[in-house]
Structure formats: structure tokens, C-alpha cells
Amino acid sequence: MLPALIICLIAIPALHFWWRARFRQEQERHRAQLAERDHQDLTSSTEALARQDALFDSMIEGVLVLDENNAVRFANGAFVEMFQVSGVLRGRALLEAARSHELIEIVARAAVEGRVVDYEIQLPGQEERWLEVCAAAVSNQERRKLGTILVFHDVTGLKRLERTRQEFVANVSHELRTPLSHIKGYTETLLNGAMDDPKIANRFLQTIERNAGRLQLLIEDLLTISELESGGVSFDLRAVELRPLITKICDDFRARAAGRTVRIETQCPDLIIRADAGRFEQVLSNLVDNAFKYGSSGGRIVVGAVAAGDFAEVFVQDFGPGLAPETCERVFERFYRVDQARSRDAGGTGLGLSIVKHIVQVHGGRVWVESTPGKGAKFFFTLPLQKSATAQG
Ligand code: ADP
């Protein structure tokens, strides 16, 4: 009995200590497992956040997430770039982050209406930048407001295109109206009796013919511009000998200018360019024609070319009144004229130089003008030189 009691007395504490050790081991294993799972959860949620940030930052649209008090919870890279904000945005008030009262109104509207779509705003401090804003209020099931999500789309390019189109339509209408109203006015006067006097009738008919010619020129230039801008025209690029082409175009002008005292000189070395010969003729003719129209009567026009690196630099120089420095860039814009009346009297459409610019750019060249007011203007354009030396004409 005693030995059994002794054994029991020893076994019970031993069992107790063994059991406690096991229990501690189990507890530690369990704790380690929990810690491991927490670590995994943390890693995967950090990864998910990083993926989400990368996704939002790769968007070209700006994204701004606000909390229920309209403080910033998240803003992506595009938003930061659009609104040019610096420093930490998280926690900052909307007005402080975006400096736009309009945005506050949009957020308030979204809270009432649920969504605000396609609202346009101009970026604060950036006159020329337009954004389209979509805002959506986020609420929970009890309809308690949790925040607002705003998405910003840069529509500056579209706005600019829209404005250019509107200006173009207004300019075309204006240009067409003048000759048309002349034609209409003179026709009505003829019909009301003026045609009974052959002398007056003849003069009026000549005016009508001149204005119809203006309309025709304008429509031809407009068609050329729209054809070039559509990008649908194919240029027949070949090796072209420059000297014979320049000589031919200048000879045509000399023949047309017979009786006038303007002298055309040519200065051109043997160069072979890669160009569409027909389009080249259009470019050079427009420039020489301008030199005739705006150069000094009785003066001289020099047409020539020089090699400059991989390009031929062609120039047309006159010794007329020239151009003021601030107009040198603008003359290549559609319908820009320094002197409206002079251009119209000379039969100009205001489109010649923009056609020149388009054609030269399609060839990979550039066009510019240098001028000293009172001493004349020198228009330049470059065209690529043909790499191999053989011209096909
Ligand atoms: P336009 O049909 O009016 O001549 P262009 O596009 O050819 O249209 O030229 C635009 C404007 O540039 C002209 O109206 C004129 O004011 C100015 N310009 C063009 N060439 C010359 C030049 N050689 N000298 C002075 N001004 C010029």
C-alpha cells in the first residue's frame, strides 16, 4: 500500500509538471501560428495596398477620395500633377488640397444627388487647363455618408480643338460673306435696271467676275487645307533635282509678271531633294506669289537654296516692307493677315502660308521667316536631301 502511495505521490506532480509543460508548448505553438497568420495578413494587405496605389497611379485620370468630413483620404499621382499640390495630402481639407471652390460645390451636390457627372472646371491658376469631373457620394446601408470619390479627366486638348473649329467656321463664314454680298448686291443692281446701260453693266459684271474668282480661290485653298489636315493625302516622294524645278517655277512667274518691273533672280547649286514635286511647286509658288504681292514694286526677288546638313534650305527673299517681329510666327496661322485690306486687294485668302507649313511639315521639314522691317522678308523652308545621288526627275 505504501509503495503504491509513494508512487502516486511522485507520479501526480510529475504528471502535473509534464502536463503544464505540454500545455505551455501548445500555447506557444498556437501563439506562433497566430503571429504567423497576422504577419501573412499584414504582408498581403500591404501588398494589396501597394497594388492598388500602383493601379491608381498608372491612371491618366486624377482620382481623389474624401472622407465624410471632406478631408483627403487618398489622391493618385495624376491628381497631384493636375492640381500641382505638394506635401502629404492625406488628412488635408478639400479646399486646402485643391484650392477650388467649385469642387466644394460639386461634392455638396454629389451628397444631395448621389452623383454628379461630366461637370467641367478650369484648373485654378492654370487658365488654359480644363477638367471634366465626375463625383459620386459613398454611403453605408443606413445611408450614412462615408465620403466622396472624384474622378478628373483632362479635356484641355478637346477644348482647344473645339475652339479652333469654332474660330475656323467663323473665319470661313466671314471670308465667304464679303465676296458673296458683292456678287448679290451687283446682281440686284443689274436686275433693277443697271443692265440697260452697257457701260455700267460691263463694269458691274467685271466686279461680279472678280468676286466669283475670289470665292473660287478661297474654296480651292480650303479644300487643300482640309485635304492636308485629314492626313488622307499621299505624297509622291521621289528624288527631285532642285535647280531645274526652281528655274521652271521662276520662269513661269517671270512670264506672268511680264510688263512689271520686278526682277526674279535664282541662286541654286545642284541639289537632289526627296520631295513630292507637285507639292514643292505649290509651296514655292505661294512664297514667290507673296513676294510679288507684298514686296516692293520695281524691286527684286531672290529665290535660292543651300545645303544644310541632311536638308536643303530653300529661301525666297524680297525687299519690301517686311514683317514686324511679333508677326513672324503668326503669318503661318490660318487666316492671319498683317494688313487685311492689302491681302484682299491682292487676291489673298489668308491661307497660303498655312498650306506651305502643312506641306513642308509632311516632308519632315520646317518653315520660318526672318525679316528686318522696312528692308524686306526672307522666307525659308527645309526639305530632306536625297541620300543616294541619283535623281529620277
Ligand atoms: P494671303 O493670302 O493673305 O497672302 P498668306 O498666308 O500667304 O495669306 O500670308 C499671310 C500674311 O502674311 C499676308 O496677309 C501678309 O500680311 C503676310 N505676308 C506674307 N508674305 C509676306 C511678305 N513677303 N512680306 C510681307 N508680309 C507678308
pLDDT, one tens digit for every residue, the chain (393 residues) = 777 778 878 888 888 888 888 888 988 988 888 888 888 877 877 888 788 788 888 899 999 999 999 999 999 999 999 999 888 889 999 999 888 889 999 999 999 999 998 899 988 777 788 999 999 999 988 888 899 999 999 999 999 999 989 999 999 999 999 999 999 999 999 999 999 999 999 999 999 999 999 999 999 999 999 989 888 788 999 999 999 999 999 999 988 877 677 899 999 999 999 999 999 999 999 999 999 999 887 789 999 999 999 999 999 999 999 999 999 999 999 999 998 888 878 878 999 999 999 999 999 999 999 999 999 999 999 999 998 654 444
Nearest Cα to Cα of residue 311 among 370, 356, 367, 390: 367
Identity of residue 329:
E
In the structure grid, which three cell numbers stand for residue 371, read together? 525679316
Residue 376 CB–ligand 1 contact under 6 Å: no
The residue nearest atom 4 of ligand 1, judged by CA position, is 348
State the distance from the centre of ligand 1 to the C-alpha of 45, rounded, in angstroms. 66
**Rounded to the nearest whole angstrom, what is the distance from the C-alpha of residue 220 to the centroid of ligand 1?**
18
- pLDDT in the model for residue 325: 95
C-alpha of residue 170 to centroid of ligand 1, in Å: 20
Strand partners, 130: 122
| 318 touches ligand 1 (CB under 6 Å) | yes
337 lines ligand 1 (CB under 6 A): yes
Using an 8 Å Cβ cutoff, are 345 and 357 in contact?
no
Half-sphere exposure at residue 174, Cβ-oriented, CA atoms within 13 angstroms: 11
For residue 376, the CA-to-ligand 1 centroid distance in Å is 12
The answer to whether 93 and 99 are in contact (CB under 8 A) is no
Please tell me if the CB atom of residue 323 comes closer than 6 angstroms to any atom of ligand 1. yes
- Enumerate domains of the chain plus CATH numbers: 59-154 (3.30.450.20), 156-233 (1.10.287.130), 235-393 (3.30.565.10)
Ligand 1 centroid, distance to 213 Cα (angstroms): 19
Among 317, 69, 354, 35, smallest CA distance to 226 is for 354
Q: In this structure, which residue's CA is closest to atom 14 in ligand 1?
A: 337
Cβ–Cβ < 8 Å for 153, 61: yes
Rounded distance between C-alpha atoms, residue 251 and residue 245, angstroms = 10
CB 355 within 8 A of CB 290: no
On the 0-12 / 13-18 / 19+ scale of CB atoms within 10 A, 16 is exposed
Where does the chain show beta strands of DSSP type E? 62-67, 72-75, 115-122, 130-139, 145-154, 238-241, 263-267, 272-275, 300-308, 311-318, 367-372, 376-384
- Which of 218, 264, 338, 359 is the pocket-test mutation for ligand 1 (most atoms within 8 Å of CB)? 338
For the Cβ of 70 lying below 6 angstroms from any atom of ligand 1, the answer is no
Q: What pLDDT, on a 0 to 100 scale, did the predictor assign at position 333?
A: 94
**pTM of structure:** 0.70
